[in-house]
Amino acid sequence: MTGSFKARVCRLDLWINPIFDETLSRNPDVYLDVASSDPYCAATQEALANAHAYHVCAAKDDLPKRWWVHTHLINESPNLLCVSAGGAGYDTVDVDACTKAGIPVVNQAGANAHSVAEHTFALLLAVIKRVVESDRKLRTESGFKREDLTGDEIHGCTIGLVGIGEIGTRTAKIAAGFGLKVLAYDPNVSAEEIRARGAEPVSLDALLNESDFVSLHCPLNAQTRLMIGAEQFEAMKPGSVFISTARGGIHDEVALYKALSSGRLRGAGLDVWEVEPPPHEAPLLSLSNVVATFHTAGVSQGGRRNVARSSAEQILMMIDGVRPPHLLNPEVWERFLRRREQVLGVSKALEPV
């Protein structure tokens, strides 16, 4: 797209890696509006009303609901052509509402996949090797023996991955390096493709029954909310370990606490929570066999830079009429191109490169 007219991109003043702004600044036909995240700011409403593209924070607890992409915001933003969620998740975007309005939505799947997969094993090893327990005892207690902190090894064990997308695939590759057998359950991926990604396809029941370690790598949606509850924890092997770097709400925290406190499960590594951060009095935080982090699996320097760059690049692609790689609602694309022509006054949609 060339000419004097500038496509307007809006993001809020929440922290983002500088590569986002730098990438957009290299296109002279794009104007970036950085608006206040204050939910009562009228200027932000005006900025979104004029915006053609909206980069929206994907962290539901960081973004005021006033600025989530839902029907009300869409109705207030008549020029809005496309939305980019700033992460692999898109909890702050109503994709169905966007589809009805002809607005394509992209996420940044895979941009922080290495970071999240690495964090999965940081949690798993911390639980199995009892790293956090040992650290705490060394700082606060005396008179205990090394045998009081005996851990285990993971070589030769089986890990079950619930979801084998970008992150799950990288997790499978790391698992192979540790000498683990890898099982995977993913109803959206064919058995042949699951094998190509480094895992043996199984049902969810078989995965729970056979895995020494169960790790979640699926999105949170209507199908996955609370899919791992009391029944599923009961189906897991006695003494197994539960790991989640996916989303809070996929597993039942009350049921997990019961499975851990009863000794049914050996331990858990949790990066995600129903409420983030969880309150200090959260029952799971009282257990010594739980290793907890604050949804930081993908919040590495490299991960955040990759996500910011990916978001900016996909916004520029859509503004130029090029179909982006991580389109969540592909059925809207042809309608988007027609809206783009009307709103931006351009007629040519570039072919994908």
pLDDT digits (tens, 9 = 90+) for 328-348: 999 999 999 999 999 998 765
Residue 56 phi/psi, 5° resolution? -110, 135
* H helix and E strand count, the chain: 13, 12
Give 249-284 pLDDT, tens digit per residue. Answer: 999 999 999 999 999 999 999 999 999 899 999 999
> How does residue 130 score in pLDDT terms, banded at 50, 70 and 90?
very high
- Round to whole Å and give the CA distance between 351 and 161: 36
Angle among Cα 167, 170, 175 to the nearest 5 degrees reads 120
What percent of the chain is modeled with pLDDT above 70?
Answer: 97
- Round to whole Å and give the CA distance between 115 and 244: 14
Q: Is the per-residue pLDDT at 350 higher than 60?
A: no
Beta strands in the chain (DSSP E): 7-12, 30-35, 53-56, 82-85, 105-106, 158-162, 181-185, 200-201, 213-216, 241-244, 267-270, 290-292
Write down the CATH superfamily of domain 113-292.
NAD(P)-binding Rossmann-like Domain (3.40.50.720)
Pairing of strands 158-162, 213-216: parallel
- Round to whole Å and give the CA distance between 110 and 170: 9
> Do 86 and 306 meet the contact criterion of CB atoms below 8 Å apart?
no
> How does residue 309 score in pLDDT terms, banded at 50, 70 and 90?
very high
Pairing of strands 30-35, 7-12: parallel
**Catalytic site positions:** 247, 276, 295
**C-alpha dist (Å) from residue 303 to 62, 117, 217:** 18, 11, 16
pLDDT the model gives residue 349: 52
> Do 295 and 269 meet the contact criterion of CB atoms below 8 Å apart?
no
> Do 88 and 144 meet the contact criterion of CB atoms below 8 Å apart?
no
> How does residue 353 score in pLDDT terms, banded at 50, 70 and 90?
very low
**Mean pLDDT (the chain, rounded):** 93
The domain locations on the chain are 7-109+301-344, 113-292
pLDDT the model gives residue 89: 81
> How does residue 155 score in pLDDT terms, banded at 50, 70 and 90?
very high
pLDDT the model gives residue 347: 62
pLDDT the model gives residue 187: 96
Return the C-alpha torsion angle 190, 195, 199, 201, nearest 10. 40
Write down the CATH superfamily of domain 7-109+301-344.
NAD(P)-binding Rossmann-like Domain (3.40.50.720)
The residues, ordered by sequence, that sit 6+ positions from 231 with a Cβ below 8 Å of its Cβ are none
pLDDT the model gives residue 236: 98
Q: Is the per-residue pLDDT at 105 higher than 80?
A: yes
Are 7-109+301-344 and 113-292 in the same CATH fold? yes
Q: Is the per-residue pLDDT at 4 higher than 70?
A: no
Higher-confidence residue of 196 and 353: namely 196
Cis upstream peptide for 18 (omega within 30°): no
